[in-house]
Structure 1
Amino acid sequence: MKKAELVFVPSPGMGHLVSTVELAKLLVALNSNLSITVLIIKPPYDPNLTAYIDSLITDTDTISTRIKFINLPQDETQKGIPPNKFMTTIIQSQRPHIKEAVAKIVQYSSLVPDSPRLAGFVLDMFFTALVDLANEFGVASYVFYTSSAAFLGFQFYMQALRDKQNVDITKLKGSDAEFTIPSYVNPVSAKFFPALMFKPETLTVLLKGAKELREVKGLMVNTFSELESHAVDSLSDGKYPAVYPVGPILNLMSESGAHQNSDIMKWLDEQPLSSVV
């Protein structure tokens, strides 16, 4: 079997980067011919995340030798950017750096015999605008979806509701109207939609992302079939890219201190065994 390499591009958030690294560990453990390069976008505002990123480079005990990390040039202009424009700004500023890093990977593989060949991109769920880069390199694009399968189905449904039925979703705020969303067992009232659905700037980002998600070859979702069997089945009717439940992706061995002495963790520790999902 030929050696292959995947390029992961996670977004600079603890909830995305940590689970991405754990997924990379899982994949290389399952396939001895697979190597992974993770392109790291280091945020200028999160010291905990920066410390975690720095630890990845030196953690030779738990990180496979077939997983490499490349720090992309840091962009100080990210400071002070409104949340609704943050991801778009990162994509624009980091696109040339990502392209350059991947070009070097391809060049190396062409010069070194028996080295892995680029097989695809695994993009963060917020970085779907980079699908065209995978196309440019002639490889497949996948997405690691760090939310639930049910919400993935909700995102697809909302995009179709706007684009195919011309529904102005922002006008549903406070409405009692119920929608039969395939990824949910029961109808969902509009008044329970996330608040970001009623803000034009965040709604646009969410629905644009849903449209781009339809263009990838596969969606790796941080869930497992036994937890979300209905949602996973609803996404397996051939209308969407292939869905692969790869979870639960957890970093149970983390020593980052992010949850130490947390009120939430204290409360959980006090609950009866097997009483919390």
Structure 2
Amino acid sequence: MAGPTIVLLPAWGSGHFMSALEAGKRLLVAGGGAVSLTVLVMQAPTEIEASVVEAHVRREAASGLDVTFRRLPAVEHPTGCEATEEFMSRYVERHAHHVKAAIAGLASPVAAVVVDLFFTPLLDAAHELSLPAYVYFASTAAFLALMLRLPELRDDLTVGFDGMEGTVDVPGLPPVPPSYMPVCLVSKTVKNYDWFEYHGRRFTEAKGIIVNSSVELEGAVLAAIADGRRPAPAIHAIGPVIWFDATLPPEQPHECVRWLDAQPAASVVFLCFGSIGFLDAAQVRELAAGLERSGHRFLWVLRGAPAGGVRYPTDADPGELLPEGFLEATAGRGMVWPRWAPQKDILGHAAVGGFVTHCGWNSVLESLWFGVPMATWPLYGEQHLNAFEAVASMGVAVELRRTTAKDGDAARSLVEAAEVERAVRRLMAPQGGGSSEAREKAAEVSAACRKAVEEGGSSHAALQRLVREIVRVVAGHTRPE
């Protein structure tokens, strides 16, 4: 009989897929040959997302690790969904019988099933097969704590967080203003809240939750989740889980990296807004004006608005989006890159001294890994809560403040040029001849993150405990600790 395997069900978005896969590989390595990894791959809903997932699968399949990929049959797309979270959840529900059949048909005994945080409908398949099930939570422990609280918060909200007075109690965090609540939750008029509450309730059915964080990053939050005042399974903080390409580096470094090679140490502010983040033309003009007035060197990954019904940005046309004369005025100290750029390579470069970021958790972790302080520019998802935590709890970021302006009959949020200038100067300029407070704190957190995942660190120890728990009982016999 083949040895036991861990079954992993990652979501198709790159930030979820690669984070979950990297976590699975860590379980595999920590198991020391006691388990293999079987990844059940759901067909992504769009061609672009499917092609990205396939590229990841091809690369990882050739890695030499004991990882097997199995593709699940296609299902029909649900219709009439009000929001992305509803579509995703209903789409996942339609795979339940395929998942159960795929797991039941494996030649290897299954040690555990690990599902993405949005895949909780698939916990039923694990329960029906009498298998231990875990949730992989690719975001912060703070967002996890909030999701576990959603059922009790429902009664306190009339229309949602956007109409709430006072602050929100997120266990382990300072009082959170409603403006920092995840935008996917602010209103109860669409079904986002219902689905996040649904997933939060179902988390309690899992044997444990594997979270991409650490005691060093979110110790107070993790302690608050574990204090027993609210239902919660065991929490395994094994982060930071960051994916680094193990293939050989290219013979020719990326053009952005070559440009950075010519810049002084810690002199460049890097601006990037994630795989699906972009700014409209008016906001691009404000950002450009603020960068020009700041006087600092910059590397700006500028993306265009999505086209063709997909949510991924297009390659930008700098001549169309940027103010006239901007490129000439900043020549020599600024670079605008209109396509995808290798973010980890850039953040790890000695010339980068600050990061203006959308605050996706993967980006925050990458910035902290390299000790780069941030300026927060959250756009979607849970990023506003991440931004609050980076500023108020961790002290590794400065806030970029928004103003509300009239746009015809509607109100719109805008980061004005003066605010961009202020935040960049504060982020990049040393105070009192030394390093800025955020830079010093980012360096401390970087060291703590790296120590956490090393042998003897808190996350390494949590990973080892989790692997022992998973492989202890397989195929009806007990394994020694």
- Smaller-chain TM-score bracket: 0.7 to 0.9
Report the 3-state secondary structure (helix = DSSP H, G, I; strand = E; otherwise coil) of the residue aligned with 1:173: helix
Please show how residues 55-134 of structure 1 align to structure 2 within 5 Å: 55-57=56-58, 59-65=60-66, 67-75=67-75, 77=77, 82-105=83-106, 108-109=107-108, 117-134=109-126
Q: Name the structure 1 match of 2:42.
A: 41
Sort the Cα spacing of 1:79 and 1:264 in 2 relative to 1 into closer, same or farther, 3 A: farther
Which amino acid letter does the alignment assign opposite residue 132 of structure 2?
A
2:177 alignment counterpart: 189
1:147 — aligned with what? 139
Taking a change above 3 Å as real, the CA distance of residues 45 and 104 of structure 1, as seen in their structure-2 partners, is same
Kept in 2: contact 1:44–1:79 (CA 8 A): no
In structure 2, relative to structure 1, the CA distance for the partners of 1:52 and 1:130 (3 Å cut) is closer
State the 1:240 CA deviation. Answer: 1.3
- Taking only aligned residues, the RMSD between alpha carbons, in angstroms, comes to 2.9
Name the counterpart of 1:226: 216
1:124: Cα distance to partner? Answer: 0.6
Change (3 A) 1:63 1:48: farther
How far the C-alpha of 1:61 sits from its partner, in A, is 4.8
Structure 1 residues 226 and 76: CA distance shift in structure 2, 3 A: same
Whole-Å separation in 2 of the counterparts to 1:169 and 1:3: 53
Deviation string 1:204-261 (CA, Å, 9 cap, x unpaired) is: 0011111001111100001111111111111222441110011111112178xxx996
Shift of 1:17: 0.7
Whole-Å Cα distance in 2 between the matches of residues 6 and 240 of structure 1? 22
Counterpart of 1:20?
20
For normalisation by structure 2, the TM-score amounts to 0.49
Question: Post-superposition shift, 1:144?
Answer: 0.1
Cα distance, 1:44 vs. partner? 4.1
In the alignment, which residue of structure 1 is the partner of 2:428?
none
Deviations 1:177-212 (A, max 9, x none): 12332131x111223212222143100001111100
Gaps of 5+ in 1: 110-116
2:272 paired residue among 247, 264, 268: 264
Distance 1:8 1:191, change over 3 A: same
Contact 2:61/2:69 (8 A) holds in 1: no
Match of 1:227, SS state, is helix
**Do structure 1's residue 217 and structure 2's residue 207 form an aligned pair?**
yes
- Name whichever of 77-86 and 192-201 sits farther off: 77-86
How far the C-alpha of 1:59 sits from its partner, in A, is: 4.2
Secondary structure at 1:179's aligned position in 2?
coil
Are the structure 2 counterparts of residues 218 and 59 from structure 1 closer, same or farther at C-alpha, using a change threshold of 3 Å?
closer
Post-superposition shift, 1:48? 5.7
Report the residue type matching 1:177 in the other structure.
G
Q: One-letter code of the match for 1:196?
A: C
After superposition, what is the alpha-carbon deviation per residue over 1:29-66, rounded to whole angstroms, capped at 9, x for unaligned? 1112111211001214243652442452464552412x
Task: Kindly indicate whether structure 1 or structure 2 has the higher relative contact order, using CA contacts under 8 Å at least 6 residues apart.
Answer: 1
Q: Following the alignment from structure 1 to structure 2, what is the Cα–Cα distance between the partners of residues 161 and 48?
A: 34
8 Å CA contact retained: 2:38, 2:70: yes
- Do the aligned residues in 1 keep the contact of 2:12 with 2:53 (CA within 8 Å)? no
Gaps of 5+ in 2: 248-253, 257-269, 274-298, 301-346, 354-369, 374-441, 443-481
Counterpart in the other structure of 2:424: none
Secondary structure, in 3 states, of the residue corresponding to 1:244? Answer: strand
SS at match of 2:156: coil
Q: Which residue of 2 aligns with 1:173?
A: 162
Supply the AA of the counterpart residue of 2:69: F
Alpha carbons of structure 1 residues 94 and 4: separation in structure 2 relative to 1, 3 Å:
same
Matched, 1:203 2:211: no
Partner Cα distance (1:183, 1:46) in 2 = 40
| Aligned equivalent of 1:274 | 371
Give aligned pairs, total. 260
In 1, Cα distance between equivalents of 2:51 and 2:80: 18
- Structure 1 window deviating more from structure 2 (82-91 vs 5-14): it is 82-91
Partners of 1:173 and 1:191 within 8 A in 2: yes
Mapped partners of 1:260, 1:132: distance in 2: 48
Mark the CA change 1:98 to 1:171 in structure 2 (over 3 Å): closer, same or farther: closer
Cα deviation for residue 97 of structure 1 reads 1.4
Of stretches 75-84 and 196-205 in structure 1, the one that deviates more from structure 2 is 75-84
Q: Matched residues in 2 for 1:44 and 1:158: separation?
A: 28
Spell out, residue by residue over 1:51-108, the C-alpha distance to the aligned partner (whole angstroms, 9 max, x if none).
442452464552412x111011233636996524312332232112111111111xx2
Same amino acid, percent of matched pairs: 26
